[in-house]
Amino acid sequence: MDFALTDEQQRLVETARKFTKEKIIPVAQRLDEHGTFPKEICEQAWEIGLMNAEIPQEYGGLGLSTLDHVLMAEEINYGCAGIGTTLLGNNLAAMPLILAGTEDQKKKFCGSLTEAPIFAAYACSEPDAGSDVAGMRTAVRKVGQEYVMTGQKRWITNARFASWYTVFGRIGDVRDRHKGITCFVVPRDLPGVSVGKKEDKLGQRASDTSDVLFEEVKLGKEHLVGEEGQGFKIAMKTFDRSRPWIAAGACGIMRRALDECRRYALERKAFGQAIAQFQAIQFMLAEMAMKYEATRLLMWKASWSIGQGKLDAIESSYAKAFGADSAMAVATDAVQIFGGYGYTKEYPVEKLMRDAKLLQIYEGTSQIQRMVIARNLLAQGQ
């Protein structure tokens, strides 16, 4: 088993690290404070190949493996998790098309993301259906050869800036749960599509999170992704692919927290010596490092399995749940090490703590991940 990065992977990491140092870190605090969407940074990232990582090369993308992608994403999230989430948005929106779309859909919609620095969004969650995907109420009825969609999506990343959406709606009765859920690709400019309120979030404030509304939106067969009733399966497969990306966000936050705390602990004096000399601080730093290393290994394993075509949902859930919970714990300890200064905006650790919390919520909460893990473990025992 070889953990060494290839020369190409090392160059990718160095490119992302340099971009983060020069373009992201200098503006991250300002973007967070004002909740400003990082459009210019995204355009610069697109120019040097730091967007659309997993879109296949035949549609203009980088065609990177998931392992390559998470290596890059960790570096971006080291600088700002809000920007990291924004840059991941296109990959998330494109994944249902990559998994189940027609050749024409892939060329048209995935190709549009690589031809210009535009955005797309994945629209699954609703006001009353977040973790309970099968409880969604966005309705799709068939009228002749057309589909007509009406509903509301919530917590949609990049919603206000997206040119198209991957949307999940229900054909049939809500009591049918997952059976009628169907996936569509919906251009932003279709009549009846609009963007609702923007959320004023605790953390990851540089990312756009808004509602998307669909009012009698007419769709054709060309908008159907996969087959009718396959949407739930497509959504779950997409989450299996995307959860290692969230672990990458966790790794970026943890590594940044560890670097900030190590530097501060060596400089900060108390009782006549650097606080790094106190065992209480040393143990906290050691715990941070262990959580980071363990998350990175889980993330690499899940990403490697995707590349080998062997992914089990449990592996992605291991990485996502452990990584998100670890990032929250590490960022909270970082604030503690900084003491009163950690509770102010003078240092970046308070932002790391706010950003980390979202990792435990989106792409399936930490509790949902435990349900997935337990269900898979019990199934293996039968």
Choice among 74, 75, 126, 363 that is catalytic: 363
CB 191 within 8 Å of CB 148: no
**Does 363 participate in catalysis according to the annotation?**
yes
Tally of CB atoms within 10 A around 247? 30
The residue type at 137: R
CB 356 within 8 Å of CB 321: no
Q: Which of 107, 101, 175, 186 is nearest to 147 (CA)?
A: 186
Q: Residues with Cβ < 8 Å from 171, sequence gap 6 or more?
A: 140, 141, 142, 147, 180, 181, 182, 228, 229
- How many residues in total does the chain contain? 382
SS3 for 63-109 is CCCHHHHHHHHHHHHHHCHHHHHHHHHHHHHHHHHHHHCCHHHHHHH
Tally of CB atoms within 10 A around 55? 25
149/139 Cα distance (integer angstroms): 6
Which region, left, alpha or beta, applies to residue 125 given φ > 0 means left and ψ of -120 to 50 means alpha?
beta
CB 38 within 8 Å of CB 85: no
13/4 Cα distance (integer angstroms): 13
SS3 for 157-174 is ECHHHEEEEEEEEECCCH
Q: Which residues does residue 213 pair with via DSSP β-bridges, in sequence order?
A: 152, 194
Residues identified as active-site: 363
